[in-house]
């Protein structure tokens, strides 16, 4: 039995990724992978291993190889790093398939993370290491894929922080009304 306060319809929209989100994710992911692979090819073609060129200020292009992950951790566990990266990429794709339309920034953010992860994964499988070359002297050398992963995670965290938050004024009004 219906009363005047019951909703007539409880229509919910699907949060699954649609064709537009998948195309966006693929385009960003492919662009990240291609840019990283291209820059690594340029560096390995122009600089010998451990050779460095000063660019400006603390910024150098320094050709190094890293068989581990961030900061050289797990350098002797390449197989485990490959497996965990594959699992992480698979999980991100599954998450995206179910939630890709939840927020308009998801295709870009996850595209950066997945593209960067796949580029480094490709190097680990093919070569057993990744080429790092961006060197700020006070931080371990890294590559574009690492940058894309960090930027993508940063965008995801920012979206999470602001997606479900009510404006402060609206919260105060709601809380005041609830106390009345």
Asked about 135 being catalytic, the answer comes back as no
Active site residue: 36, 132, 135, 175, which one? 132
Which residue from 95, 112, 113, 110 is spatially nearest to 15, judged by alpha carbons? 95
132 carries an active-site annotation? yes
Lay out the sheet containing 59-66: strands in order across. Answer: 52-56, 59-66, 130-135
Q: Choose the catalytic residue: 36, 123, 135, 146.
A: 146
What are the residue numbers of the active site? 132, 146
């Amino acid at each position: 039995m219906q009363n005047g306060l019951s909703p007539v319809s409880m229509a919910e929209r699907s949060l699954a990724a649609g064709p537009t989100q998948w195309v966006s994710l693929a385009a960003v992911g492919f662009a990240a992978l291609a840019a990283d692979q291209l820059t690594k090819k340029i560096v390995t073609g122009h600089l010998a291993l451990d050779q460095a060129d000063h660019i400006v200020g603390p910024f150098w292009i320094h050709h190094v190889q890293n068989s581990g992950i961030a900061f050289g951790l797990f350098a002797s566990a390449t197989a485990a790093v490959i497996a965990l990266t594959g699992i992480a990429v698979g999980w991100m794709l599954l998450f995206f398939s179910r939630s890709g339309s939840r927020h308009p920034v998801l295709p870009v953010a996850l595209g950066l993370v997945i593209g960067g992860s796949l580029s480094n994964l490709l190097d680990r499988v093919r070569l057993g290491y990744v080429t790092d070359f961006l060197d700020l002297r006070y931080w371990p050398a890294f590559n574009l894929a690492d940058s894309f992963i960090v930027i993508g995670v940063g965008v995801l965290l920012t979206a999470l922080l602001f997606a479900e938050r009510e404006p402060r004024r609206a919260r105060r009004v709601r809380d005041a009304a609830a106390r009345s």
